[in-house]
């Protein structure tokens, strides 16, 4: 297995004390699902008039393979005053997005202010500092309650326009409406890496959806994926409950229980797993995974004109290196008002940069493997610098 070298001297892998209390809180409400759904119904009935008066217009969906820039894009866009999104606090009780937020606000005003408002570095140890109010990928908790086999590698994980799940669609629309009401915004923003195989389905539910598809140079991307996988395995040894917590919230991207997204080709998943067993082909396995995901979505964009029109490709290297132009194109595609976002945009133009907290030591053979496996798809997305990595 390739090793990732960290440049940072301070890599603390201790599981935070508050993480334990957060896990047990989440575990309780996941175990007693009838109570969670009861609370959801009570909240929905309380907000019924407001929900009925809302229409979900132009929701913005950020998706892409993990470590492709989805988080930094979410961190930036959630600061737009028109967008409501899930927060870290919603992971504790995702079925009660309005009332639970009000409760936490009261608690942070009178009690536990230090613990409920203090910033901390997220588990990924990638320098991103968050609080309970920071945006996070939460909606997967809901998806996995209504669809079977979402995280089963042995079957296709594609949900397209031919799928119909009325119970989910009703619950999902109501849930989004409650977030919009709670945050007093007009539109919904979500980051969900797993939505990459569901864009056609989402476009059927919300025909005016705006998709932001993130992609990254596969050499740097694969190095980041390997780094995170190794990090999460180390954290699991420190706190085994992390495995169960990630299962509950639907995060299977890293660690010992990592699950590949099956984009309709079970044979390639089996090939990836076989390659990953051996040191000399471990990196090649990741390259095949990268190619299977972005090869799938490129084919969707080629064959579905409506999806292509709704989708804007965000190349991570361009976002970091040519921030002003890329951010302007994102705002144009999503139809978000630039004047309300000027201060935030200028901050990210000044501060966005490529990660410098780790390096990879891929061998020449591994670099060639990545190039040969991914070059066709990388060329389709007009990614720069792949050949130069060799």
pLDDT tens across 170-202, in order?
999 999 999 999 999 999 999 999 999 999 999
Using the predicted structure, report yes or no on whether residue 4 has a pLDDT greater than 60.
no
Is the CA virtual torsion 338, 341, 344, 346 positive or negative? positive
Using the predicted structure, report yes or no on whether residue 113 has a pLDDT greater than 80.
no
Confidence of residue 10 (pLDDT cuts 50, 70, 90): very low
Task: List beta partners, residue 121.
Answer: 129
pLDDT at residue 71, rounded to an integer: 92
pLDDT at residue 238, rounded to an integer: 84
pLDDT at residue 89, rounded to an integer: 86
Ranges 121-130, 239-248, 282-291, most confident: 282-291
Confidence of residue 14 (pLDDT cuts 50, 70, 90): low
Three-class DSSP labels, the chain:
CCCEEECCCCCCCCCCHHHHHHHHHHHHHHHCHHHHHHHHHHHHHHCHHHHHCCCCCCCEEEECCCCCCHHHHHHHHCCCCCEECCEHHHHCCCCCCCHHHHHHHHHHHHCCHHHHHCCEECCCCCCCEECCCCECCCCHHHHHHHCCCCCCCCCCCCCCCCCCCHHHHHHHHHHHHHHHHHHCCCEEEEECHHHHHCHHHHHHHCCCCEEEEEECCHHHHHHHHHHHHHHHHHHHHHCCHHHHHHHHHCCCCCCCCCCCCCCCCHHHHHHHHHHHCCHHHHHHHHHHHHHHHHHHHHHHHHHCHHHHHHEEEEEHHHHHHCHHHHHHHHHHHHCCCCCCCHHHHHHHHHHCCCCCCEEECCCHHHHHHHHHHHHHHHHHCCCCCCHHHC
Using the predicted structure, report yes or no on whether residue 109 has a pLDDT greater than 70.
no
Q: Which positions ≥6 away from 100 have C-beta within 8 Å?
A: 89, 90, 92, 93
Q: Write down all domains in the chain, each with its CATH number in brackets.
A: 26-389 (3.40.50.300)
Average pLDDT over residues 120-141: 72
pLDDT at residue 103, rounded to an integer: 86
The whole-model pTM stands at 0.91
Distance CA 142, CA 14 (A): 29
Using the predicted structure, report yes or no on whether residue 110 has a pLDDT greater than 70.
no
pLDDT at residue 361, rounded to an integer: 84
pLDDT at residue 20, rounded to an integer: 73
């Amino acid at each position: 297995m390739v090793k990732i070298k960290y440049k940072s001297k301070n890599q603390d892998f201790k599981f935070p004390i508050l993480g334990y209390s957060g896990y047990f809180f989440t575990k309780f409400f996941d175990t007693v699902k009838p109570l969670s759904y009861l609370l959801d119904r009570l909240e929905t009935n309380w907000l019924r008039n407001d929900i009925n008066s809302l229409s979900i217009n132009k929701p913005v969906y950020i998706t892409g393979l993990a470590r492709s820039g989805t988080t930094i894009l979410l961190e930036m866009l959630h600061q737009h005053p028109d967008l409501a999104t899930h927060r870290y606090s919603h992971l504790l009780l995702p079925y009660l997005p309005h009332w639970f937020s009000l409760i936490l606000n009261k608690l942070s005003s009178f009690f536990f202010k230090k613990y409920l408002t203090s910033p901390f570095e997220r588990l990924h140890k990638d320098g991103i500092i968050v609080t309970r109010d920071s945006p996070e990928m939460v909606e997967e908790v809901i998806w996995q309650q209504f669809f079977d086999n979402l995280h089963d590698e042995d079957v296709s994980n594609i949900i397209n326009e031919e799928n119909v799940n009325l119970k989910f669609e009703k619950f999902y629309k109501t849930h989004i409406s409650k977030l919009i009401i709670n945050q007093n915004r007009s539109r919904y923003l979500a980051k969900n890496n797993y939505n990459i195989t569901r864009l056609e389905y989402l476009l059927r539910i919300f025909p005016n959806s705006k998709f932001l598809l993130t992609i990254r140079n596969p050499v740097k991307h694969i190095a980041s994926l390997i780094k995170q996988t190794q990090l999460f395995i180390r954290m699991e040894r420190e706190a085994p409950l992390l495995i169960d917590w990630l299962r509950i919230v639907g995060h299977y991207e890293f660690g010992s229980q990592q699950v590949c997204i099956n984009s309709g080709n079970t044979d390639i998943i089996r090939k990836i797993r076989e390659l990953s067993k051996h040191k000399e082909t471990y990196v090649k396995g990741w390259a095949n995974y990268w190619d299977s995901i972005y090869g799938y979505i490129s084919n969707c964009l080629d064959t579905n004109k409506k999806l292509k029109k709704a989708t804007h490709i965000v190349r991570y290297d361009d976002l970091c290196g040519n921030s002003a132009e890329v951010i302007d194109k994102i705002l144009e595609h999503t139809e978000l008002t630039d004047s309300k976002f000027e201060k935030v945009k200028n901050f990210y133009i000044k501060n966005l940069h490529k990660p410098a907290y780790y390096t990879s030591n891929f061998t020449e053979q591994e670099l060639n493997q990545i190039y040969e496996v991914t070059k066709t798809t990388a060329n389709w997305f007009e990614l720069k610098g792949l050949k130069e990595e060799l």
